[in-house]
Amino acid sequence: MKYRYNGTTEDLAKGIRIRSLKMVCKSKSSHIGSCLSIADILAVLYGQELAFNPEKPDWIERDRFILSKGHAASILYAVLAEVGFLTTEDLSTYCEDGSLLAGHVNHYVNGIEFSTGSLGHGLSVGCGVALAAKRDKKSFRTYVLLGDGEMDEGSNWEAILFAPQHKLDNLIAIVDYNKLQGLGVISEVINLEPLIDKWQSCGWSAREVNGHDHGELIDTFSSIPFENNKPCVIIAHTKKGKGVSFMEDKLEWHYKSPDSDQLKIALNELNNSG
């Protein structure tokens, strides 16, 4: 059964942005820009799209969600806390000595399906999970959220060729296309365009969405599978640092951690947003 968050997905997105910012500030860790970029996607997925039960994390029919861009860990932990897998106290240990809440997602944390951190792993694993579900005639879906920078990894393209071959229409890839990667602008480092054409030419059924528009995301998720017998990819156009104006579209916020004054400004902006 799909989980229903007790509130709007917009509220959830705001809540996890705030939690993520506090975690990253406290631990002086990186990747806040990458986290804010996927806040709305995670809020829609965990707020109403995914089937799961925090009381039974191993429930066999749960949808599987794999965060391939494992560095966006803090906001995934944040959403897991909002839906009941983790406590606020758990989140306070993020990146602390002896904590399980690593800077890249760790499956020893309740609710984390698969550990990642090195890029280009999630989609292949997702293919295996989706294939097992097909073989066992199970109805759950497998969602893999990828970063745009990790589309450079050859392993992803191996998986992109594999999934259509096996008609994995229970597999959904989401690309967080914020147009910035580790050391520069995507189009100037390794241009991915025409990205949607590439996926489609490999046999995927593809849609492009505004990755911050909840209505658009909800409509898109509700029309999965887009075509029978084809895996789906959602190219989500996003903004790195979305929701905090001084972080938006700024490469430096892939690495920098806000200081207490910057955190105050950021939280103020979020709290006063719709």
Partner 1 sequence: MRNHFIKTLSELIRENRDIYLITGDLGFSVFENLMESYPHQFINVGVAEQNMIGVASGLAKEGKIPFVYSIANFPIMRCLEQIRNDICYHHLNVKIVSVGAGYSYGSLGYTHHGVEDIAIMRAMPGMKVIAPGDPVETRLATKSIAEDGGPCYLRLGKSGEPPVHEVDPVFSIGKAIILRNGADITLISTGSILDEVVKASRLLEKDGVSVNVASMHTLKPIDYTFIQTAVDSKLIVTVEEHSSIGGLGSAVSEILAATGVFSTPIIMLNAGSTITKQIGGQNWFRKRIGLDAESIYRTVRERLSGIR
Segment holding 201, helix H or strand E: helix 195-201
Residue with tokens 């002086």: 28
Task: List, as one string, the DSSP characters of 90-149.
Answer: HHTTTT-TT-S--SS--TTSTT--S---STT-HHHHHHHHHHHHHHTT----EEEEEESG
242, 37 in Cβ contact below 8 A?
yes
Angle at 218 between CA 200 and CA 238, to 5 degrees: 65
Q: Does position 203 bind partner 1 by CB under 8 A?
A: no
CB of 215 to partner 1, least distance (A): 32
Of the residues 33, 47, 120, 164, which one makes contact with partner 1 according to CB under 8 A: 120
CB of 125 to partner 1, least distance (A): 4
Closest CA to 266 of 247, 238, 239: 247
Q: Does position 170 bind partner 1 by CB under 8 A?
A: no
Q: Does position 65 bind partner 1 by CB under 8 A?
A: no
CB of 106 to partner 1, least distance (A): 9
Sites for partner 1 among residues 136-165 (CB under 8 A): 136, 154-155, 158-159, 161-162
Of the residues 103, 111, 126, 231, which one makes contact with partner 1 according to CB under 8 A: 126
Q: Does position 99 bind partner 1 by CB under 8 A?
A: no
Residues touching partner 1, count (CB under 8 A): 27
CB of 124 to partner 1, least distance (A): 2
Residue 73 vs residues 114, 117, 160, 199: alpha-carbon distances, Å: 12, 9, 24, 26
- What is the C-alpha to C-alpha distance for residues 141 and 61, in angstroms, rounded to an integer? 9
* Site for partner 1, rule CB under 8 A: 107, 114-118, 120-121, 123-133, 135-136, 154-155, 158-159, 161-162
